[in-house]
Amino acid sequence: MRVLLIEDDALIGNGLVAALKSAGMTVDWVRNGLSAQEALREPAYAIALLDLGLPGMDGMAVLKAARRQGAETPVLVITARDALEDRVAGLDLGADDYLVKPFEVPELLARMRALMRRRAGRAISRLSTREAVLDTGTHEFSHGERTERLPAREYALMQALMERPGHIFSRSQIEERLYGWGEEVESNAVEVLIHSVRRKFGKGVILNIRGAGWMVPK
């Protein structure tokens, strides 16, 4: 899962990047309003964490501009400003939820999961098809008789595919979901991941649609 972190404070930013990565996420970190506005227009992010006090362009203005331009990324505002009017204004401008600093990482992760579930219109933290179930809380994947907790990249791959069973994802669409900016991606990285998942769960878990990409069956 790819996360956009918008935060100018180096200490908080470094802490959040480390926490999110150890929770198995890919993180792109921007530190000012203009880069944030640009990044929010990219559809690759599952969620954005937005600090309000930013240099150059205030977080509220970033959010307002991004929503006006049609950006649909779910946004969780993380801010020290806990005044009620700020919260209300932020929600009016298109934030999906709020978390007031300082907060504990487990609460942040739980809010992120809840927000993404709401966005996907699901009440439970599971993605399922006829053959497979992916638990987005524990990262456990079941297919047929077998259940295993997936390592971070394999989880990210299966999450992307399981969100749209029957939809064919191209290599570049998968890479976009799995890797951050400036990350070296080996040309066969996606195949290696898919091979690893198939080795554990069987060939039918991910179908190769020749010349087009991959999908999980509905």
Q: Which residues bind Ca ion (CB under 5 A)?
A: 8, 51, 53
Q: How far is the CB of 44 from Ca ion (least distance, A)?
A: 24
Q: Are strands 47-50 and 2-6 parallel, antiparallel or unpaired?
A: parallel
- Judged by CB, which is closer to Ca ion: 51, or 154? 51
* Distance in angstroms (rounded) separating the CA atoms of residues 146 and 177: 26
Q: Which pair of tokens denotes residue 87? A: 């919260």
Q: How far is the CB of 101 from Ca ion (least distance, A)?
A: 9
Q: How far is the CB of 6 from Ca ion (least distance, A)?
A: 9
Q: How far is the CB of 14 from Ca ion (least distance, A)?
A: 14
- Judged by CB, which is closer to Ca ion: 93, or 205? 93
* Single-letter amino acid code for the residue at 12: I
Q: Report the alpha-carbon angle 29-26-22, nearest 5.
A: 105
- Judged by CB, which is closer to Ca ion: 98, or 214? 98
Residue 209 burial (CB < 10 Å; 0-12/13-18/19+)?
exposed
- Judged by CB, which is closer to Ca ion: 55, or 204? 55
Closest CA to 120 of 72, 60, 177: 72
